[in-house]
Structure 1
Amino acid sequence: GGERKKLPPVHLWNPEFCGDIDMRIAADGTWFYMGTPIGRPALVQLFSTILRKDPERFVLVTPVERVGVKVDDAPFLGVELQRAQDQRGQVLRLRTNVEDWVEIDADHPLRFAEGASEGLKPYVLVRDKLEALVKRALFYDLVDWGEVRNVDGEDMFGVASAGEFFPMARAAEVEGWAAA
C-alpha cells in the first residue's frame, strides 16, 4: 500500500548482460559511481527505479542492457517510520532513502536478521526482492511498538502491522530490552 511511483516494468525486460559497472550501494544507502558518491538525489532515485535483483547479482536494467552493481547490504535504507491505527490494528509505513513509501504488510514483510556486530537488523521488502535495511534509530521504535504473541506454541516478541505479526526474537531473549 501507499503512494507508489510509476515504475518501469523491469521484471519484463531481459536484455543481454553487459558486465559489471563500477557502481556500489553502501550499507548507509549512499550510491557510488567510480568511487565517488552520486550527489544528485534525483539521479539516485532514477537509478533505483531500474534496479533489479537477479538470482546471481543486483543489476540496473533497461530494455537494451543489463549491468551488475555491487550492493553492500540492502539496496535501500528505511529512513522514516509512521505509525497509525485502523481496523487492522497498528499499521506501520516506511519511507526509504529513495522516497518510496511502503506499508509493512503481507506483501511488504518485515524480517529480522542477526548482524555481525550490531545485533538484530530489520529489513522490509520494498518490491520484487529488493529490501530496505531499517536505520538503527528506527529499530528502537520497532522495539517500543513491539509486543509478545504466541507463535506455534512459543512466546515471541515482534511487531504487528496491517493485521500481520512479524516475530523479532523469542520473548525470553528480549526481557530487559525495554529497560536498557
Structure 2
Amino acid sequence: MAESTSIPGDAAGLEALISRATVAGKGLPPVEKWHPDFCGDLDMEIRADGTWFYMGTPIGRHALVRLFSTVLRKDEDGKTYLVTPVEKVGIRVEDAHFLAVELNVSGEGDAQTMTFRTNVGDIVEAGHDNPLRFIVDKANGGLKPYLLVRGRLEALLARPVMYELVNHGEEIEIDGQTMFAVRSKGTVFPIMPAGELEKQSL
C-alpha cells in the first residue's frame, strides 16, 4: 500500500503526530479504543537493543522515544503501529518493543514480587496479568526471557536483568515434572525442566 501524504517526514512532524494523542490527566493514552484508518508505514524501527531509529538514524531524545512508546500498539495481524485517534502508521520491530533494564525483587515464596523497569520508564510487576515467558534463541541456544508489558507489547529482559532473575529461580514441581522456575505475585513461571539447566547456554 502506498504511503499516505499525511505521514510526517521529519522529527518535528512526528512529534506533532504524537502530540495529537495527548489526553488530559495521567496514564497512558487509550490506544486500544482507537480505530483510525491505516495511513501507511513509517521508516521507523525498534532495534533489538531497544534503540529507536527513524530513517536510519537513532532517535537521541529519550523524551521523544518515551512519547512514541505510549502510543504503540501491536494488533492481531502481528504488526506494530503508532496509533492516535486519527492516524495509524506501521513501524518495524526487530525483536521486542521494549527492553527491561532493571529488576527489583521483594518478599519471599508466594509473596515474592518481581518488579521491572523498562528502557522507556514503564514499571511492571510480573504476575498473572503480566506474565513472563521464556524461549531458547535458535541462533545461539541462549535463554531469552520476555515480559508482557501491556496489550500485546513485550519487553525483552536485558542480559544483566536475566542473570539476576535466574538467580531467584528455584526447582518447583509442576504437573509431575520438576521445573526450574521463578515466582511473582503468586504465579509460577516455568523456565525449563530442571534437568536441562546445566546444559542451557545462558
Structure 2 CA distance, aligned partners of 1:107 and 1:88? 16
Structure 2 CA distance, aligned partners of 1:113 and 1:47? 27
Residue by residue, what CA displacement relative to the aligned partner does 1:38-76 show, whole Å, maximum 9, x if unpaired?
Answer: 000000000000000012210000001100000000000
Report the residue type matching 2:140 in the other structure: S
Please, which of 132, 135, 146 is the counterpart of residue 110 of structure 1?
132
**Paired residue total:** 174
Q: Cα distance 1:86–1:169, how it changes in 2: closer, same or farther (>3 A)?
A: closer
Structure 2 CA distance, aligned partners of 1:139 and 1:102? 15
Q: Partner residue of 2:167?
A: 144
Please, which of 65, 68, 84 is the counterpart of residue 90 of structure 2?
68
Q: Partner residue of 1:132?
A: 155
Please, which of 43, 48, 57 is the counterpart of residue 22 of structure 1?
43
Report the residue type matching 1:30 in the other structure: T
The alignment's C-alpha RMSD in Å is 1.6
Is the helix fraction higher in 1 or 2?
2
- Checking the alignment, whether the CA contact within 8 Å between 2:110 and 2:183 is kept in structure 1 is no
Matched, 1:42 2:53: no
Structure 2 CA distance, aligned partners of 1:124 and 1:147? 19
Structure 1 CA distance, aligned partners of 2:103 and 2:96? 17
Report the residue type matching 1:22 in the other structure: D
Q: Cα distance 1:151–1:87, how it changes in 2: closer, same or farther (>3 A)?
A: closer
The structure with more radius of gyration: 2
Q: TM-score, normalised by structure 2?
A: 0.82
Q: Partner residue of 2:11?
A: none
Please, which of 23, 26, 33 is the counterpart of residue 54 of structure 2?
33
Percent sequence identity over aligned pairs:
57
Q: Cα distance 1:145–1:87, how it changes in 2: closer, same or farther (>3 A)?
A: closer
Secondary structure, aligned partner of 1:47 = helix
Matched, 1:164 2:196: no
Report the residue type matching 1:73 in the other structure: D
- Checking the alignment, whether the CA contact within 8 Å between 2:80 and 2:92 is kept in structure 1 is yes
Secondary structure, aligned partner of 2:112 = strand
Q: Shift of residue 162 of structure 1?
A: 1.1
- Checking the alignment, whether the CA contact within 8 Å between 2:109 and 2:183 is kept in structure 1 is no
Q: Shift of residue 124 of structure 1?
A: 0.3
Structure 1 CA distance, aligned partners of 2:101 and 2:89? 27
Larger mean CA deviation between 26-35 and 80-89 belongs to 80-89
Q: TM-score, normalised by structure 1?
A: 0.92
Is the strand fraction higher in 1 or 2?
1
